[in-house]
Amino acid sequence: MIYLFITILLLAIILPSIWVKITIKKYSKPIHSLPGTGGEFARHLVERFKIGDVVVEKGIEGQDHYSPFENIIRLSPSIFDGKSISAVSIAAHEVGHAIQYAHNESITKLRDRYTPIAMAVEKIAIGLVSICPLLVAIFKLPQLALISIAAGLIAMLISVLLQLIILPMEWGASFNKALPIIEEGQYLNHQQLPAARQILRAAAMTYVAGTLSSLLNVWRWLAILRR
């Protein structure tokens, strides 16, 4: 029974990430009739919505994001240079984040406040769990290992919860910002809108998939400590 539970849990963690990648790839086929690439579309939207000195540049594949501290939208090469539904939709999603910051929406303050905390807590968690064998070897007290493991796992789960707090920001960038822009019909036609909605859902779920995947760190460190 326990193995079935673990299998279901692992699938629940892994499947969202797989679905996101499949969905984005599915609609990445070039459509030559589109008026421009994802990068050109993003720059057009930045100019259209007058969202400051936001720079759009080509980044690392699979790491599309908006950096509020640098005021830069970075798009994967396949998105930046692509002329596809995925390219248009993901570019619009990242511009959506820039719009959120330009409008100083409250959700952006939550992200700026809690994301560094989540990252710090996760590092502390990994440190606590990894130091367990050393503590036991020095003090010869097995109880220290249990305390360190418990503290590490709790800290890691807190990190995941902190990241989930700002999930609405991703959803808002897709469906409150990007989708209304695309639905105007200036960039994609009516037949392409259902695919765009799927891509925007996948773009929002990318954050969820990343958050869930951090749970795998718990299993990884438990496996190491059981050796």
Q: What is the pLDDT of residues 118-140, one digit of tens each?
A: 778 777 877 777 777 777 777 77
Q: What pLDDT score was predicted for residue 213?
A: 66
3-state SS record for the chain: CHHHHHHHHHHHHHHHHHHHHHHHHHCCCCCCCCCCCHHHHHHHHHHHCCCCCCEEEECCCCCCEEECCCCEEEECHHHHCCCCHHHHHHHHHHHHHHHHHHCCCHHHHHHHHHHHHHHHHHHHHHHHHHCHHHHHHHHCCHHHHHHHHHHHHHHHHHHHHHHHHCHHHHHHHHHHHHHHHHHCCCCCCHHHHHHHHHHHHHHHHHHHHHHHHCCHHHHHHHHHHCC
Largest CA distance in the chain: 70
Q: What is the pLDDT of residues 49-68, one digit of tens each?
A: 999 889 999 999 988 999 99
Q: Decide: pTM greater than 0.85.
A: no
The active-site residue out of 57, 70, 94, 105 is 94
Annotation marks residue 170 as catalytic: no
Q: What is the pLDDT of residues 201-225, one digit of tens each?
A: 988 887 666 666 666 665 555 555 5
Instruction: With cut-offs at 50, 70 and 90, classify the pLDDT of residue 42.
Output: very high
Give the domain ranges of the chain.
2-225
Q: What pLDDT score was predicted for residue 2?
A: 57
